[in-house]
Chains A and B, each alone.
Chain A
Amino acid sequence: MRIDRIKLADFRNYAAQEVYFDPVCNVICGENAQGKTNLLEAMVCLSTGKSHRTRSDRELIRFSQQGFQLEGGIYARNRAFTSRIEVGYGRKKRITVNEVPAKAASDLSAVLNTVFFCPEDLQLIKDGAAARRRFIDISLCQLRPRYAAALAEYQRLHEHKTRILRDCADRPDLIATLPDFNLRMAETGAVLIHYRARFVRMLASCAAAAHKECSGGREELDLQYKTVKTVSDPFGDHKLLVVQLLEHQRQHHYAEVSSRQCLSGPHKDDIEVLLDGLSARSFASQGQTRTAALSLKLAAREIHREIIGEYPVLLLDDVLSELDPKRQEYVLNRIGDGQVFITCCEEDRLHALLQGSVYRVKNGIVTQ
């Protein structure tokens, strides 16, 4: 799959811009704060329906404007698609694919899949569990619409339950509704665990191979999925998972009410990264964690290809400048098939090395 064309109107610092891209390699260069990342962010939006860097769509609107429009010309599954997102102008957010209104953001990911890689991702291993959950959520939401639906419902339930627990001192009557929330959270939570366990297993085998190659065969990488304690087997039957999740909620009921926090459920999941059997988070060196993060990201790309049958669009945001020459070469060799977008600064000579179409970004204007 590839992005042939993108059109932005009042998105971030772009007023009105239409760009046509190369089917293989695109190098986007420009000085700092000119809009390189914003261009990649627009592509992520077209595949997931939201931005990876903000919580609110309003932040994506150009300053002092009422709304933004994004349009992408995408070639996938051997045909052309046009995806469009419109936010603001005093209306509800509108998403269309080939002029047909989309019911959910997952309709966008049925057309376009992206794997986005930015310098912060190199901290994936050292960061808290939330960063690793976000990493698997982004991939799984694109690959499994049922997961995306369950995650959206779970997050909404989690928010409501937190609100109930927080306000239950003033409104003791709210506590009576808690069992209903608990049951539905266990049901959707079980769906999340089902997919996460399988995804981590796939990721582990792909990442181990990538890591072995990148570290010159010296290190073994392994991943372990950590979920709610009472779950005996995350690959187990859905009904059994629900029972076990309810059991954990029951045990933590008093703790939840007294601490006024939602303590039980898969929103606390983690993936533990092991290097040669040791926890990478505690013991790995700076270089090792970077290599491991790199392996995870490239493994995600392989999984997309295995499931969808096409390589997703790879977006590399300023990553190469953060890597040493050996790892740079490794990433570049791995790109192979599929379309790639790379951003870099004007000064470095990377774009000479890459042999792709070069685009220059200056103050929200793209020139070829």
Chain B
Amino acid sequence: METITITTEYIQLQDLMKLASMVSTGGEAKQLIQDGQVLVNGEPCLQRGRKLRPGDAVSYQNRTCTPAYAD
């Protein structure tokens, strides 16, 4: 599990995928999410604007990331 540091209250699913370099463009993230290839907390999530907070886990291929607040 990788930790991605955010400075805001939450981050959207598509933005977290870009920030974590799981995808290189937002369009790519949109496609993958709509295809149901991205899991949030173990279940496929089709909302690319899904708000993620610390404790949520995003899985795609063999990577899993979770957001955490910056100190």
Contacts and interface: CB of A to CB of B under 8 A. Distances in A.
A206 to B, nearest CB: 15
B70 interface: yes
A305 B71 CA distance: 15
B9 A144 contact: no
B8 A146 contact: yes
Contacts of A145: 7-9
A168 interface: no
Contacts of B69: 146, 194
A143 B7 CA distance: 8
A198 B9 contact: no
Interface string B1-30: 000000111000000000000000000000
Indicate the size class of the contact surface on chain A: under 10
Contact of B9 (A146, A194, A195): A146
A198 B9 CA distance: 17
A146 B71 contact: no
Interface of A is mostly: helix
A310 B8 CA distance: 20
A87 B70 CA distance: 33
Interface string A121-161: 00000000000000000000001111001000000000000
Interface in B19-71: 69-71
Nearest to B9: A146
Nearest to A194: B69
A145 B10 CA distance: 11
A146 B9 CA distance: 5
A195 B9 CA distance: 13
Contact of B7 (A146, A194, A198): A146
Contacts of A149: 8-9
Contacts of B9: 145-146, 149
A144 B70 CA distance: 8
A146 B68 CA distance: 12
B71 to A, nearest CB: 5
A198 B8 CA distance: 16
A95 B61 CA distance: 41
Nearest to B10: A146
Nearest to A147: B7
Interface string A178-192: 000000000000000
Contacts of A195: 71
B54 to A, nearest CB: 9
Contacts of A198: 71
Contacts of A144: 7, 70
Q: 6 closest Cβ contacts across the A-B interface?
A: A198-B71, A145-B8, A146-B9, A146-B8, A144-B7, A145-B7
Given A145-B8, A145-B9, A195-B71, 12 more contacts: A143-B7, A144-B7, A144-B70, A145-B7, A146-B7, A146-B8, A146-B9, A146-B69, A149-B8, A149-B9, A194-B69, A198-B71
